[in-house]
Structure 1
Amino acid sequence: MDDLIHRLVRKYRTNCPFELADALGIHIRYADLGSATKGLYFRKLRRRFIVIHNGLIPEWQRFVCAHELGHDRLHKGISRFFMEEHSYFRPGKLERQANRFAVALLGAGQPIESGEPLENYFMRIGIPRELVHTDAL
């Protein structure tokens, strides 16, 4: 996964998920997705789409875009929903992979400093605070 992210960032000279999606030809849309869904990724007629819940704050929109971009890069041909984890089930393998992709992408070029708490690092690279102490990563 690190090599994939490194190649993307080097080729497109950015780690911004919105700019990467645009460069990769992925259409981004915003919609009210209800209270449990933050975003989704799907393909239709060979076109790729990321839909982000329009009620999210910018920090979450950026993370969700990076997460859904992870599905595009890691899980070809599988449409996925990024759902709130308010159930009795742990996040699935594909969701954890997409979350790890998002964190690695958003942190590309900004390594964690020696002794830096994870929460501070996440805040510095724009990861939503709610994700710091979860099993979603």
Structure 2
Amino acid sequence: MYIETKKLADKLARNHGTRDPIRISDDLGYILINTPLSGIRGYYQYVRRCSIIYLDTELSDEERSFVCAHELGHSLLHKNLNRIFMDTRTHMVTSRYEIEADHFAVELIYSDDDLCEYTDCTFDTVARSLGISYSLAEYRMRSLRQ
């Protein structure tokens, strides 16, 4: 999945001239809705041929960007999955899809060039500097070295 998320993120950034997931979502014609969400930071919905990303109004700008990239990842990688149904009506483990969307988000937001200055840093330092989890910093820095 690494190759797929990396290629897709780089292609989107190249085609849209930006790594800003909000601008890319706008360019793709997605509807972005900022609304109070109880207990979740965002979600993606595909209704009547419309892609909609809901973002919690309590998010900081950095969180909003990451959550938008994460939901954009769901829309591109898992468009035909109904995660809400899977979570509430089945016993399927959906964490794999969440991890893939997180990986897509860090691939989209942080280019290889952006991360060159961190090559000698610990994963913890990268995580704190970028405001992401340790596991995402580890994933992204390992993918940079491949």
TM-score relative to the length of structure 2 = 0.74
Do the aligned partners of 1:67 and 1:99 also contact (CA within 8 Å) in 2? yes
Do the aligned partners of 1:41 and 1:79 also contact (CA within 8 Å) in 2? no
Do the aligned partners of 2:83 and 2:94 also contact (CA within 8 Å) in 1? no
| 1:23 aligned partner | 27
| 2:13 aligned partner | 9
Match status 1:65 vs 2:74: no
**How far apart are residue 132 of structure 1 and its match?**
2.5
Which of residues 92, 114, 117 is equivalent to 2:122?
Answer: 117
| 2:36 aligned partner | 32
Higher strand share: 1
**How far apart are residue 78 of structure 1 and its match?**
2.5
Q: 1:79 to 1:46 in 2, by over 3 A?
A: same
Higher helix share: 2
| 2:49 aligned partner | 46
| 1:95 aligned partner | 98
Residue segments in structure 1 that go unaligned for 5+ positions in a row: 82-89
| 2:110 aligned partner | 107
Q: How many residues align?
A: 123
Which of residues 126, 131, 134 is equivalent to 1:132?
Answer: 134
**How far apart are residue 57 of structure 1 and its match?**
1.3
Identity %: 28
TM-score relative to the length of structure 1 = 0.78
Q: For the residues of structure 2 that align with 1:78 and 1:8, how far apart are their CA atoms?
A: 21
| 2:143 aligned partner | none
